[in-house]
């Protein structure tokens, strides 16, 4: 199943000490994006990126279950300080089949 995921920062994380900021960027921000690049190469993340001008990532995930998706999101280093919004997606092919079936049922009801 495919999911549209938006992860937006909910906590201010920039420490005032430049050394701590460097450490934070290296240990969390860079690490998160390295994981996302790897997940994209593995086709777990199908598409996505960071929102320009915002501390927010948006991506489409392929996962077999809600539990798999939850594990993937919780593995991200910035998970604790982000709010995740998840929207399950139905394929266009499935929607098309359902719409055709509904039309056929409506036609049959008119006879």
Order of strands across the sheet that contains 56-62: 45-50, 56-62, 2-9, 82-89
Please indicate, yes or no, whether the overall pTM of this predicted structure exceeds 0.85.
no
Nearest alpha-carbon partner for 48 in 3, 107, 100: 3
Is residue 53 within 8 A of residue 60, CB to CB? The reply is: no
pLDDT digits (tens, 9 = 90+) for 69-108: 999 999 999 998 899 999 999 999 999 999 999 999 999 9
Note the CATH number of domain 2-110.
Answer: 3.30.70.1060
Determine the 3-state secondary structure of 60 from DSSP: strand
Residue 13: pLDDT band (50, 70, 90) is low
């Amino acid at each position: 199943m495919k999911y549209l995921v938006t992860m937006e920062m909910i906590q201010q994380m920039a420490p005032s000490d430049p050394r701590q900021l460097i450490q934070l960027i290296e240990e969390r921000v860079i690490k998160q994006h390295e994981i996302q690049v790897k997940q994209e190469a593995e086709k777990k993340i199908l598409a996505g990126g960071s929102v320009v001008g915002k501390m927010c990532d948006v991506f489409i995930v392929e996962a077999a279950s809600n539990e798999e998706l939850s594990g993937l999101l919780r593995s991200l280093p910035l998970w604790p300080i982000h709010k995740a919004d998840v929207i399950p997606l139905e394929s266009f092919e499935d929607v098309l089949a359902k719409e055709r079936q509904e039309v056929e049922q409506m036609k049959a009801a008119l006879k």
